[in-house]
Amino acid sequence: MWNILGEEAIYLDITYKFKKRLAELAPADETGDKYRKLLDKTDVGFMINGETEENCFMLTVPDEYTPEDIQFMAEQTMAAIVKNDQAPISANGVEQKYKIIINNNKEPELIGLRKTPGMSSVELFKPIFKNWSSPGRANPNTSGQYYD
């Protein structure tokens, strides 16, 4: 069983519990209200790196957030984690390594319902194929015998 900021969770609930607990741990004043408002529009993702056993929370903010908003979110997120008196993330009672990334980069979706326009797998790789076949773009790893 997972424990996220002091609350039990199953794997599928980790992102929801993390976002909920951050909002609960925010101060009960204007600062906390501003943080909860920013957090409400933030997408939370979670990944585990099986090789390094590191957990990663990814907070993806909307494009309209200013650098000051993102800095404010980072400060308030760390304050919430410090305020919590338990390990931020643990599994079966063992504290886990973790990192929190706050960004506004959006990966294009190649398949699915929210597929990014123009980003089908063929469209995505066309520039790479074009560079491979463009005149004067010899592969430096070959002796050049095929380009004479």
Per-residue pLDDT of the chain (148 residues; tens, 9 = 90+): 899 999 999 999 999 999 999 999 999 999 999 999 999 999 999 999 888 889 999 999 998 999 999 999 999 999 999 998 888 999 988 999 999 999 887 766 666 676 666 656 566 667 777 777 666 666 566 555 554 4
Which residues, listed in sequence order, are joined to residue 54 by a DSSP beta bridge?
Answer: 49, 97
Q: How many domains does the chain have?
A: 2
Range of the domain at 90: 2-103
Same domain? 53 vs 121: no
Same domain? 41 vs 96: yes
User: What is the pTM for the complete model shown?
Assistant: 0.70
Same domain? 89 vs 130: no
* Residues, the chain: 148
Same domain? 48 vs 116: no
Same domain? 75 vs 6: yes
Same domain? 48 vs 83: yes
| 88-118 exposure pattern, b = at least 16 Cβ within 10 A, e = fewer | bbbeeeeebebebebeeeeeeeeeeeeeeee
